[in-house]
């Protein structure tokens, strides 16, 4: 059962208003809905008035009426997840459809629709969860104002919009902004608010609440401040103002994803709300700030302007990720944020693009839409917008966005609409640019140089090709913005950043009037999501690492040296002669931002090395890669021991903890130094840091180092004794053990942890902590005896009937399996077969397994 973009048709009826009445009870919640329909915009179709098709799944239907009359069963037909009421039963001028259904939130372990999380009733309706609540046109292009009355024996009762009435055991909410069902939300439970207020640019006063469980109030303040910063930033940068009297955020422990932008009532995975210095790391704080912003920014890019259909998901997600990236760049360090984003893109999206799950940012078919909340839709979707902005300039971008908000506010839009506002605002033809949205795969961009010394002319020749992806054998050339700069041999920049616009398969660009042959700094700021290949020697990379004025390409030069060193060592060779001295210069460069130096000091992951070996056409050997990376780390630590110790000491942050970028960067550099020194001091420094650290950032860094040094027993016991009751801290405890363990023990460690009574595997965070921790241990997961694969699959099989969405997402651990040797491939294939043959396997997981095996 496949859904296709080409099959989209407008909904034939117009939904004017939605009224819902909930009577909440754990096993039998009653939902009464009243939907007022008018004639569709296009009037009756060629065949006359249309049937009314509604979506519903797992509903116990008690009553169905049209204009108050029970619908004659002869007019009703039922599909797997649909109810069709024949046109003959519908007054063509409009009618009121009403339903009464019963649902069972307590039994809802899939966490889609209305469910219970630790005693709190909450909902998750994106993408198609609302059909688990009642019969409805559950598609994003059907939008209506909602009025919702909830009766529940709970102290706090919330829904979308503004509160319009409440009493003992009930509350009524009104959301005047028409919205699709996926933005509906309801929360009822014993919650406490950490509250604030925000005055919008036009003077509207908004009440802000972050709702948490009693006892968690002291960990919600950071999220509230992040919300205020986000609201101000969206006004200042995009001119977008909030549009209701209240904005509520609720933290729940059981959540399939990160968070959800329900209108006026964002629901969050508690790990993206709750933070204190003792329980959250600097990275957690940064993510909380970014995700609070992301969900808030959806109020305009997603809610006021939503998607016509789910194929357009990147319309809201790519843009909102792009906006949250801009926000973080403004709040923290822009260069550091850019490097982090590229690391994330390469680690997840390039990986996806190179394997069997490759798909375009705007796919055109799916079996299960929840399988398309991917790095490609989100992060590549954001990169595509970054390119668009680079091509049309900041002013063009601002004009296009103003036009987008003006033209599409209140509507459900498409990628075509989005591109059209850029064309209309800037006069540019974007037909070739559109390929970025509809073609999958990462272009390979090669650059060669020709130097004519007599003429003082440098010619750069670029060639692009994109390898085939499933269902897309041929890839025409795309528009690629290539940011370049030229640096003279003495280290001065002779040409500041210029954006070359490549449109052909192969293209030359010349630079004249050069006194000496410059060094080319190319793909500055990672100006396009491509894989760059250029013949370049290690000395030139070292030169760029020392002299490039662009922080991204500067970092990238060092990264390439490290990567090439590990690859060479894993294949029996030696590290690049340039690399270890370059690390010494980096350690000596105390004027550079510590956060940047931390990024430059950290070695590429084993996964990244495997990806690079695969891209070069070779077969990665996880054991050799692991050994090579360890050996390089030891070499660095031995050579630069004194400088690393000095850096470690200098980066101690005095005074109380603050999660700001400055001190966080110092801690990151300190931990990067610790990670290297740990290879030669037997874990002594890590043990001392574990004892002295007053914040979770350093505690977790010390703990990982202790695990690597195989002396973490006491620290793990202490952490459990202190934080056994804190789920988020215990998630870290479950995650770091398989992650940092020696590969020869990682699967067994994971298996032992899975036996513990507090391995609450129905909780997605806990499940992901353990399985994700193992999957991120490259050599441990891919251990030659298949123990990692087996353990992992056993648990996927167990979770699938309980929570298909989370199971399906975790299948992506297998997406790289064809990179490896035939023996490993056979082991993975056997596990995937075991999944495929499981009776009753969910549609979610079946689609993922089928695509990975290539049965798509």
Smallest gap from residue 573 Cβ to ligand ARG (A): 44
Residues in contact with ligand ARG by CB under 6 A are 124, 126-127, 256-261, 294-295, 317, 370, 373, 805
831 contact choice in ligand ARG, Zn ion, none (CB below 5 to 8 Å, kind-dependent): none
Contact call for residues 253 and 731 (beta carbons, < 8 A)? no
Nearest to 482 by CA among 437, 447, 430, 448: 447
Smallest gap from residue 738 Cβ to ligand ARG (A): 26
256 contact choice in Zn ion, ligand ARG, none (CB below 5 to 8 Å, kind-dependent): ligand ARG
Smallest gap from residue 124 Cβ to ligand ARG (A): 6
Rg (CA), the chain: 28
Smallest gap from residue 126 Cβ to ligand ARG (A): 5
The CA distance from 604 to 581, in Å, is 17
Q: Which is nearer to Zn ion, 317 or 681 (CB)?
A: 317
Smallest gap from residue 374 Cβ to ligand ARG (A): 10
Q: Residue 550: exposed, middle, or buried by beta-carbon count in 10 A (0-12, 13-18, 19+)?
A: buried
368-371's contacts with Cβ under 8 Å and 24+ in sequence apart are 368/808, 368/843, 368/844, 368/847, 369/3, 369/127, 369/128, 369/310, 369/313, 370/127, 370/128, 370/805, 370/808, 370/844, 371/808, 371/809, 371/844, 371/847, 371/848
Smallest gap from residue 306 Cβ to Zn ion (A): 12
Burial 198-219 (b: 16+ CB within 10 A, else e): beeeeeeebbbbbbbbeebeeb
C-alpha triplet 222, 224, 230: angle, nearest 5°: 100
314 contact choice in ligand ARG, Zn ion, none (CB below 5 to 8 Å, kind-dependent): none
The CA distance from 629 to 736, in Å, is 19
370 contact choice in ligand ARG, Zn ion, none (CB below 5 to 8 Å, kind-dependent): ligand ARG
Q: Which position has the token pair 């972050």?
A: 210
Q: Which is nearer to ligand ARG, 267 or 709 (CB)?
A: 267
194 contact choice in ligand ARG, Zn ion, none (CB below 5 to 8 Å, kind-dependent): none
Q: Which is nearer to Zn ion, 112 or 317 (CB)?
A: 317
Q: Which is nearer to Zn ion, 382 or 430 (CB)?
A: 382
Q: Which of residues 21-40 bind Zn ion (CB under 5 A)?
A: none
Smallest gap from residue 375 Cβ to ligand ARG (A): 12
132 contact choice in Zn ion, ligand ARG, none (CB below 5 to 8 Å, kind-dependent): none
Q: Residue 410: exposed, middle, or buried by beta-carbon count in 10 A (0-12, 13-18, 19+)?
A: exposed
64 contact choice in Zn ion, ligand ARG, none (CB below 5 to 8 Å, kind-dependent): none
Contact call for residues 159 and 265 (beta carbons, < 8 A)? yes
Q: Residue 427: exposed, middle, or buried by beta-carbon count in 10 A (0-12, 13-18, 19+)?
A: exposed
Nearest to 760 by CA among 109, 260, 164, 277: 109
Counting every residue, how long is the chain? 856
Give the H or E element holding residue 31: strand 29-39
Q: Per-residue x/- mask for Zn ion, residues 297 to 336, rule CB under 5 A?
A: --------------------x--x----------------
Contact call for residues 333 and 595 (beta carbons, < 8 A)? yes
593 contact choice in ligand ARG, Zn ion, none (CB below 5 to 8 Å, kind-dependent): none
Q: Which is nearer to ligand ARG, 154 or 256 (CB)?
A: 256
260 contact choice in ligand ARG, Zn ion, none (CB below 5 to 8 Å, kind-dependent): ligand ARG
Q: Which position has the token pair 């000596």?
A: 588
Distances (CA, A) of 120 to 24, 153, 354, 564, 848: 11, 11, 41, 51, 31
Q: DSSP letters along 455-503, please?
A: TTEEEEEEEEE---BTTB-------EEEEEEEE-TTS-EEEEEEEEEE-
The CA distance from 364 to 368, in Å, is 12
Q: Which is nearer to ligand ARG, 114 or 672 (CB)?
A: 114
Q: Which is nearer to ligand ARG, 314 or 633 (CB)?
A: 314
State the catalytic residues: 295
Q: Which is nearer to ligand ARG, 611 or 805 (CB)?
A: 805
Which backbone phi and psi does 664 adopt, to 5 degrees?
A: -65, -40
Nearest to 307 by CA among 437, 436, 180: 180
373 contact choice in Zn ion, ligand ARG, none (CB below 5 to 8 Å, kind-dependent): ligand ARG
Q: Which is nearer to ligand ARG, 201 or 257 (CB)?
A: 257
Q: Which is nearer to ligand ARG, 541 or 763 (CB)?
A: 763
Measured in whole angstroms, the distance separating CA 375 from the mean position of its chain's CA atoms is 6
319, two tokens: 């843009």
First to last CA, the chain: 12
Nearest to 695 by CA among 735, 668, 725: 668
Smallest gap from residue 266 Cβ to ligand ARG (A): 9
Smallest gap from residue 20 Cβ to ligand ARG (A): 21
Q: H helices of 58-132, where?
A: none
Smallest gap from residue 322 Cβ to Zn ion (A): 11
In 758-825, DSSP assigns E strands to none
- Residues lying near Zn ion in the complex (CB under 5 A): 317, 320
């Amino acid at each position: 059962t496949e859904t296709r973009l080409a099959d989209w048709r407008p909904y034939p009826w117009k939904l004017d208003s939605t009224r819902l009445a909930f009577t909440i009870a754990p096993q039998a919640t009653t939902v009464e809905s009243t939907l007022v329909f008018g004639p569709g915009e296009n009037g009756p179709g060629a065949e006359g008035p249309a049937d009314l098709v509604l979506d519903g799944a797992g509903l116990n239907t008690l009553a169905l009426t049209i204009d108050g009359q029970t619908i004659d069963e002869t007019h009703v037909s039922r599909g797997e997840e649909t109810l069709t009421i024949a046109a003959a039963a519908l007054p063509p001028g409009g009618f009121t459809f009403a339903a009464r259904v019963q649902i069972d939130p307590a039994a809802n372990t899939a966490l889609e629709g209305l469910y219970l999380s630790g005693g709190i009733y909450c909902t998750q309706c994106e993408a198609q969860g609302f059909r688990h609540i009642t019969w409805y046109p559950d598609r994003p292009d059907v939008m209506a104002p909602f009025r919702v009355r909830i009766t529940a024996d709970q102290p706090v009762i919330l829904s979308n919009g503004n509160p319009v009435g409440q009493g003992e055991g009930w509350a009524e909410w009104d959301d005047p902004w028409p919205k699709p069902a996926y933005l509906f939300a309801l929360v009822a439970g014993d919650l406490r608010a950490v509250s604030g207020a925000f005055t919008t640019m036009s003077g509207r006063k908004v009440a802000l609440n972050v709702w948490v469980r009693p006892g968690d109030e002291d960990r919600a303040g950071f999220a509230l401040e992040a919300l205020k910063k986000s609201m101000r930033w969206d006004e200042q940068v995009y001119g977008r103002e909030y549009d209701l009297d209240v904005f509520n955020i609720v933290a729940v422990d059981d959540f399939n994803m990160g968070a959800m932008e329900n209108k006026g009532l964002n629901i969050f995975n508690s790990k993206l709300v709750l933070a204190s210095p003792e329980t959250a790391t600097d990275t957690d704080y940064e993510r909380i700030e970014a995700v609070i912003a992301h969900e808030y920014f959806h109020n305009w890019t997603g809610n006021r302007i939503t998607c016509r259909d789910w194929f357009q998901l990147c319309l809201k997600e790519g843009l909102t990720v792009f906006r949250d990236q801009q926000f973080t760049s403004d709040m923290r360090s822009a260069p550091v944020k850019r490097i982090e984003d590229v690391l994330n893109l390469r680690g997840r999206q390039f990986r996806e693009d190179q394997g069997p799950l490759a798909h375009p940012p705007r796919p055109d078919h799916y079996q299960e839409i929840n399988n398309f909340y991917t790095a490609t839709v989100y992060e590549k979707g954001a990169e595509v917008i970054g390119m668009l902005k680079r091509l049309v300039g900041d002013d063009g971008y601002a004009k296009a966005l103003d036009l987008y908000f003006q033209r599409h506010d209140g509507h459900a839009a498409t990628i075509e609409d989005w591109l059209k506002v850029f064309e209309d605002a800037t006069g540019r033809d974007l037909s070739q640019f559109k390929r970025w949205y509809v073609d999958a795969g990462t272009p390979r961009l090669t650059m060669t140089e020709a130097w004519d010394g007599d003429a003082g002319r440098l010619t750069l020749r670029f060639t692009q090709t994109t390898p085939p992806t499933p269902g897309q054998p041929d890839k025409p050339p795309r528009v690629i913005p290539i940011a370049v700069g030229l640096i003279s041999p003495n280290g001065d920049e002779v040409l500041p950043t210029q954006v070359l616009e490549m449109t052909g398969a192969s293209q030359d660009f010349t630079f004249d009037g050069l006194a000496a042959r410059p060094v080319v700094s190319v793909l500055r700021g990672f100006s396009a999501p491509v894989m760059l290949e250029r013949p370049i020697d290690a000395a030139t990379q070292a030169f760029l690492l020392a002299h490039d004025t662009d922080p991204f390409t500067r970092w990238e030069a060092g990264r390439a040296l490290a990567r090439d060193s590990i690859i060479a060592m894993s294949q029996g060779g030696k590290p690049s002669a340039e690399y270890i001295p370059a690390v010494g210069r980096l350690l000596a460069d105390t004027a550079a931002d510590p956060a940047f130096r931390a990024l430059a000091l950290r070695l590429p992951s084993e996964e990244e090395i495997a990806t690079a070996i695969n891209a070069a056409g070779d077969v990665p050997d996880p054991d050799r890669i692991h050994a090579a990376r360890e050996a390089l780390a030891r070499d660095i630590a031995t050579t630069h021991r004194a400088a690393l110790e000095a850096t470690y000491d200098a980066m101690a942050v005095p005074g109380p903890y603050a999660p700001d970028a400055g001190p966080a960067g110092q801690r990151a550099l300190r931990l990067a130094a610790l990670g290297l020194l740990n290879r030669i001091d037997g874990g002594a420094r890590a043990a001392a840091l574990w004892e002295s650290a007053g914040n979770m950032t350093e505690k977790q860094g010390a703990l990982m180092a202790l695990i690597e040094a195989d002396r973490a027993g006491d620290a793990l016991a202490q952490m459990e004794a202190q934080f056994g009751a804190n789920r988020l801290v215990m998630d870290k405890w479950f995650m770091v053990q398989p992650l940092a363990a020696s590969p020869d023990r990682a699967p067994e460690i994971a298996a032992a942890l899975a036996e513990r009574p507090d391995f609450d595997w129905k909780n997605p965070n806990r499940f992901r902590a353990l399985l994700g921790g193992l999957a991120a241990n490259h050599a441990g997961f891919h251990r030659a005896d298949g123990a990692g694969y087996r353990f992992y699959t056993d648990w996927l099989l167990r979770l699938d009937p309980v929570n298909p969405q989370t199971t399906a997402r975790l299948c992506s651990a297998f997406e790289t399996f064809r990179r490896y040797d035939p023996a490993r491939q056979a082991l993975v294939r056997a596990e995937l077969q075991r999944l495929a043959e499981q009776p009753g396997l969910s549609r979610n997981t079946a689609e993922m397994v089928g695509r990975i095996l290539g049965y798509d």
